[in-house]
Amino acid sequence: MDNIQKNLLMQIADLHSVPEGAYNIRANGELGGRNTTANIDIVTKQDKPGIDIIIKPNTKNESVHIPVIISKTGVEDLVYNDFYIGENADVTIVAGCGIHNTGDSKSEHDGIHTFHVGKNAKVVYVEKHYGDGDGNGENVMNPTTVIEIDEGGYLEMETTQIKGIDSTVRVTNAILANDAKLVIREKIMTHGTQLAKTDFTVDLNGENSSANVISRSVAKDKSHQIFLSNIKGNNKCAGHTECDSIIMDDATVSAIPEITANHIDASLIHEAAIGKIAGEQLIKLMTLGLTEQQAEEQIVNGFLK
């Protein structure tokens, strides 16, 4: 692995070398390394590009890393990754994609991740998207996440895109059974002329299921963001969706939260707020000795922390 690939790996997965435990590294559309453990198997799909990650029931405190790195220009990569998380397992899954594009051609990675979370299983899923490179070629990522949580299961998804992705359409669809719980935390920062669209749909089908979808974003320069979220309460359930955006420069942001109650005992809330950094926040930090620019950075970094 060269230094560019190592840097991408660090940006998306905080990894300085190959991770401990199970992993599958995909580099420029090809297998760059794999390790399986007694409880976690990774199998290459035969019918289409991608892998199956099979986690045995009762697997505790293990992790799987499946980073994707693209360091060549003009690579267009599409993968299907399916996660089968056995009953009562408690695992952390770290995905993420880094593109380093110094050429003039578009580099694109579209990942379709499907999670089958077994009964009473607990999953923390961390996903980071990052791009760099000074070429004119676009960095494009269109992740699709499909989540099915069985009875009493729990999935927490942290998805972050801070820098360098020119265009992204992020689609997440979740279906929850009885007593299942889903928490999604999204953080996005766009700059330049970037486009980021996120689209969450959650079906709360099970009794006492719950979902909390929280998005925080900062839109700079001439970038454009669209936030769509639809939580459907189809049973006795609780749903909450919240979108909070800081808008700067000539950026534009649309927040379109939607909640649908199809059951008398569905309790659903949506909140959305878009605004620039308050002048008094800047002034307060300037009275502590920061310049206006430093104050702005502190506020943005804190907001996305």
Of the pair 84, 303, the CB lying nearest other proteins is at 303
Residue 290 binding other proteins, by CB under 8 A? yes
Q: Which of residues 194-223 bind other proteins (CB under 8 A)?
A: 216
Tell me the per-residue interface mask from 157 to 196 with other proteins, x by CB under 8 A, - otherwise: ----------------------------------------
For β-strands 237-247 and 209-219, DSSP reports them as: parallel
278 binds other proteins (CB under 8 A): yes
Q: Tell me, what amino acid is at 213?
A: V
* Residue 114 host element (H or E): strand 107-117
Q: Select from 95, 286, 296, 297 the one that contacts other proteins (CB under 8 A).
A: 286
d(CA 63, CA 13): 12
Q: Does 269 bind other proteins (CB under 8 A)?
A: no
Residue 257: CB minimum distance to other proteins, A: 18
How far is the C-alpha of 57 from the C-alpha of 94, rounded, in Å?
19
Among 78, 103, 258, 303, binds other proteins (CB under 8 A): 303
CB of 190 to other proteins, least distance (A): 18
Pick the closer one to other proteins by CB: 269 or 286. 286
266: β partners: 237
With respect to other proteins, which residue has the nearer C-beta, 45 or 284? Answer: 284
Q: Which of 41, 52, 244, 258 binds other proteins (CB under 8 A)?
A: 244
- Among the residue ranges 132-140, 202-210, 225-233, 273-281, the one whose residues contact other proteins (CB under 8 A): 273-281
Report which residue type is found at 263: H
Q: Cα(200)–Cα(149) distance, rounded to whole angstroms?
A: 15
Mode of pairing for the β-strands spanning 224-233 and 195-204: parallel
* 274 makes contact with other proteins (CB under 8 A): no
Give the H/E segment covering residue 259.
strand 252-261
Site membership for other proteins, residue 280 (CB under 8 A) = yes
Stretch that binds other proteins, among 19-27, 54-62, 106-114, 275-283 (CB under 8 A): 275-283
DSSP letter, residue 223: -
Which three-class secondary structure string do you get for 82-102? EEEECCCCEEEEEEEEEEECC
Does 305 sit near other proteins (CB under 8 A)? yes
Of 49, 54, 62, 78, the residue nearest 20 (C-alpha):
62
Question: 3-state class of 53 per DSSP?
Answer: strand
Residue choice 7, 35, 144, 298 for contact with other proteins (CB under 8 A):
298
Of 226 and 300, nearer to other proteins (C-beta) is 300
CB of 219 to other proteins, least distance (A): 16
Helix (H, G, I), strand (E, B) or coil at 284: helix
- Name the one range near other proteins by CB under 8 A: 57-65, 103-111, 117-125, 283-291: 283-291
Contacts of residue 302, defined as CB under 8 A and 6 or more positions apart, other chains included, come to none
298 SS3 class: helix
Catalog residues that contact other proteins under the rule CB under 8 A.
216, 244, 278, 280-281, 283-292, 298-299, 301-305
